[in-house]
Amino acid sequence: MTIRVALGERSYDISIENGALDRAGELLAPYAARGRFIVVTDRNIVPNQLYRLESSLTAAGIACAVEVLPPGESTKSWAMLEKLTDAMLAYGVERNDTLIALGGGVIGDLVGFAASIVKRGCRFVQVPTTLLSQVDSSVGGKTAINSRAGKNLIGAFYQPVHVLIDPTTLDTLPIREVRAGYAEVVKYGLIDDPAFFAWCETNVRQLLGGASEARLEAIGKSVAAKARIVGEDERETSGRRALLNLGHTFGHALEAETGFSDRLLHGEAVAAGMALAFRFSAAQGLCSADDARRVTDHLAAAGLPTTLDAAGVDARGDALVAHMLHDKKMEGGRLPFLLARGIGQTFLDKQVDLAAVARFLDADRG
């Protein structure tokens, strides 16, 4: 399956195929300037996926330099950016060279940012290996590292030249990470595709169990939705792309409260955030209580947290709202919120009263 991200001269294809990693030599050959790549990955990906990529490239006569970084969110740092860019320069990287980001969103975000600044921009390919990165972070060109002031605050919009998705890489991904990535899959249904949400309800067990058909369908549908939205609003200026932040404002507050740590993974925070956004919408009379319940039930059935308690957060509503005020999306002192009129009917509301949000959070805890 091939899906195109249509962005004029920055357009690119996403190939989704079981076993794509073993055909990388053939599929990525057009991007290998001077017959070589610089592959960047993290230590957890070395034992399984790196070997597959390297053998395929070698068999195709393509050389690769490999840079292995430590796993984890703390790799999206100035220190690792410096280490990576120094290594690239030591390899003699030229603007025509292509980096391959083999890994989850951490590697993708860091490598994309490094590609955007070294020699004022060289090329990069995303080879995402987590469900979250396959359905979300590898597509759309948002790249970033974290700073002392917060997550993803230093970065650039910088599109890859190709995205290669091999769903079989998920066979080695811990189930908790698979579930977390699944939250972002459900998100596409909730934004504007109620039929896809219904498909998720029917197929969640097969999907989480690793069934090949269900996995391909979920990834294909998600990537197509993201590609379409990014094509309409690359830099999040018209409000279209902002829809992808459904559940993320609530979620961000929960992540901040749990210290952006393994206590609560990003996708878990997004799941709880989406359930809260739907229940808040219902409490405001925007959407039916039935729809809010259906969303909550589905995410819970997937083994994801849907309440503050389940997310391990005991902070009060006003403390959580205080975290939201540090959100990058603040506009002139107001925080645009994604709310819903129903499943598949998400919209951006710029007039949300934060005091009402705080009261809702305390009441929702019950």
Q: From the CB of 131, what's the least distance to ligand NAD, in Å?
A: 8
The reply to whether 327 sits near ligand NAD by the rule CB under 6 A is no
The residue among 243, 298, 279 whose CA lies nearest residue 361 is: 279
Known catalytic residue at 120: yes
The reply to whether 167 sits near ligand NAD by the rule CB under 6 A is no
The residue among 188, 45, 36 whose CA lies nearest residue 108 is: 45
> Annotated catalytic residue: which of 54, 67, 236, 268?
236
Choose, by CB under 6 A, the member of 52, 76, 215, 221 that binds ligand NAD.
Answer: 76
The reply to whether 73 sits near ligand NAD by the rule CB under 6 A is yes
Residue span binding ligand NAD (CB under 6 A) among the ranges 3-11, 22-30, 38-46, 159-167: 38-46
Known catalytic residue at 236: yes
How far is Cα 149 from Cα 197, in angstroms, rounded to an integer? 36
Tally Cβ neighbours within 10 Å of residue 177.
16
Residue span binding ligand NAD (CB under 6 A) among the ranges 27-35, 106-114, 311-319, 331-339: 106-114
Residue among 50 and 214 whose Cβ is closer to ligand NAD:
50
Q: Which residues contact 86 (CB under 8 A, 6 or more apart)?
A: none
Cβ atoms of residues 184 and 121 within 8 Å: no
The reply to whether 266 sits near ligand NAD by the rule CB under 6 A is yes
Tokens of 144: 């970033």
Cβ atoms of residues 296 and 288 within 8 Å: no
Residue span binding ligand NAD (CB under 6 A) among the ranges 2-10, 24-32, 167-175, 281-289: 167-175
Residue-wise over 321-352: b if at least 16 C-beta within 10 A, else e? Answer: bbbbeebebeeeeebbbbbbebbbbbbbeeeb
Can you give the binding site for ligand NAD, defined by CB under 6 A? 42, 44-45, 48-49, 71, 73, 76, 103-107, 109, 129-130, 132-133, 136-137, 140, 142, 152, 169, 172-173, 177, 266
- Among all residues, which ones are annotated catalytic? 120, 142, 184, 226, 236, 241, 245, 248, 252, 266
